Chains A and B, each alone.
Chain A
Amino acid sequence: NAGVTQTPKFQVLKTGQSMTLQCAQDMNHNSMYWYRQDPGMGLRLIYYSASEGTTDKGEVPNGYNVSRLNKREFSLRLESAAPSQTSVYFCASSEYWGSNTEAFFGQGTRLTVV
């Protein structure tokens, strides 16, 4: 009953360091997403992968890269972390089956860049 699993849950980085956030889903969903959430800003889409083999920029892609490794896994990479990237990051996956659309979230990663 895992659903969407993202790691790590917490991370502190120094400015300029790099890291990769991992996300995996076991619901056979085609679409996966990375969002960031800052106070008062709601969930802002960084990148998404509508289906395996495709990735597209969302609302705030600068400073990030993504990889859709396979249907289950979608990773987010920060090549050179900046304090402005301090945020809570959520991975999500979704599937549309007509009237039975569903979308679920991971538990979030709280990232601090100092």
Chain B
Amino acid sequence: QKEVEQNSGPLSVPEGAIASLNCTYSDRGSQSFFWYRQYSGKSPELIMSIYSNGDKEDGRFTAQLNKASQYVSLLIRDSQPSDSATYLCAVIDILTGGGNKLTFGTGTQLKVEL
């Protein structure tokens, strides 16, 4: 079982709609969770991080974390064509020997249609 799972998509939504991206993870001890956006040919860029159960909002983006269900989601309100990209879910684990380990899902491709 892969440590971080995402639906590869593509997920298509009309402009102005809410896009909902989902991610599950296998390690109950995972500490922190990230959403990255990656445009074609570019490196991933961090858009949201979340550490506690519940919702975290930043502009049009809301990250949701449910540690009991091992589930992380990203909502994008008022989706714009510029939001069309691949969204990567990532989990960071704190290692007993020190340092941390960052693991990614395969990403979900989002297409926002005019």
Contacts and interface: CB of A to CB of B under 8 A. Distances in A.
Interface of A: 30-31, 33, 35, 40-45, 48-51, 54, 90, 92, 94-96, 98-99, 101-108
B92 A50 contact: no
B46 interface: yes
B98 A96 contact: no
Contacts of A96: 31-32, 92, 94, 100
Given A101-B31, A104-B46, A54 B106 contact: no
Given A40-B106, A45-B102, A50-B97, 8 more contacts: A31-B100, A40-B8, A50-B101, A94-B102, A96-B92, A99-B51, A104-B46, A105-B45
Contacts of A105: 43-45
Most A CB contacts (10 A, CB to CB) among B42, B88, B97, B98 go to B98
A92 B36 CA distance: 13
Interface residues of B, number: 28
A23 to B, nearest CB: 12
B88 to A, nearest CB: 7
B59 interface: no
Contacts of A102: 46, 49
Interface of B: 6, 8, 31-32, 34, 42-46, 49, 51, 88, 90, 92, 94-95, 97-107
A20 B102 CA distance: 22
A54 B99 contact: yes
Nearest to A49: B99
Most A CB contacts (10 A, CB to CB) among B31, B43, B46, B95 go to B43
12 contacts: A42-B105, A42-B106, A51-B97, A94-B100, A95-B100, A99-B51, A101-B49, A101-B51, A103-B90, A105-B44, A105-B45, A108-B42
A51 B88 CA distance: 24
Contacts of B90: 103
B88 A107 contact: no
B97 A90 contact: no
B43 A101 contact: no
A50 B104 contact: no
